[in-house]
């Protein structure tokens, strides 16, 4: 009976060691996924803008990235470092995008006008 308890305890310990080893081997310090915040159709155009939040990592801080998709080609228009949310997005006319972006930690917002070509 004592031998069975020792074998069972040994198996449980080995499974726990394997589980902890797996978790340590696959642990990610930084988020690697970026999330889509908004998609906007450009007026009088077949193009659209996608606004992403890219999380911080070792070499950069959080930032908002605006990409333009035209004819299935995605190009980066602008990066805004130190921001992590989009409050509002409007077009002033067909080529000027007005975007209000902010940072949640310090409750900071900025209004930016961006010319879309």
pTM beyond cutoff 0.75: no
Looking at the domain assignment, is residue 26 inside a domain?
Answer: no
Residue among 116, 54, 62 at smallest CA distance from 89: 116
Looking at the domain assignment, is residue 6 inside a domain?
Answer: no
Looking at the domain assignment, is residue 22 inside a domain?
Answer: no
pLDDT for position 51: 92
Q: Give the separation between CA 36 and CA 50, rounded to whole angstroms.
A: 7
Polymer length of the chain: 117
pLDDT by residue (tens digit) across 8-46?
Answer: 999 999 999 999 999 888 877 656 677 888 998 888 888
Q: Give the separation between CA 86 and CA 64, rounded to whole angstroms.
A: 8
How large is the average pLDDT for residues 95-112? 86
How many domains are contained in the chain? Answer: 1
Looking at the domain assignment, is residue 44 inside a domain?
Answer: yes
Question: What domain range is 88 assigned to?
Answer: 35-115
How large is the average pLDDT for residues 91-108? 85
- Which has the higher per-residue pLDDT, 114 or 56? 114
């Amino acid at each position: 009976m004592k031998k069975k308890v020792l074998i069972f305890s040994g198996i449980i310990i080995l499974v726990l060691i394997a589980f902890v080893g797996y978790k340590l081997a696959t642990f990610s310090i930084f988020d690697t996924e970026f999330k889509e915040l908004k998609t906007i159709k450009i007026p009088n155009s077949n193009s659209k803008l996608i606004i992403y939040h890219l999380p911080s990592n070792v070499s950069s801080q959080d930032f908002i990235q605006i990409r333009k998709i035209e004819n299935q080609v995605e190009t980066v228009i602008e990066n805004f470092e130190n921001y992590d949310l989009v409050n509002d997005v409007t077009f002033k006319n067909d080529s000027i995008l007005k975007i209000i972006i902010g940072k949640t930690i310090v409750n900071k917002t900025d209004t930016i006008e961006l010319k879309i070509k």
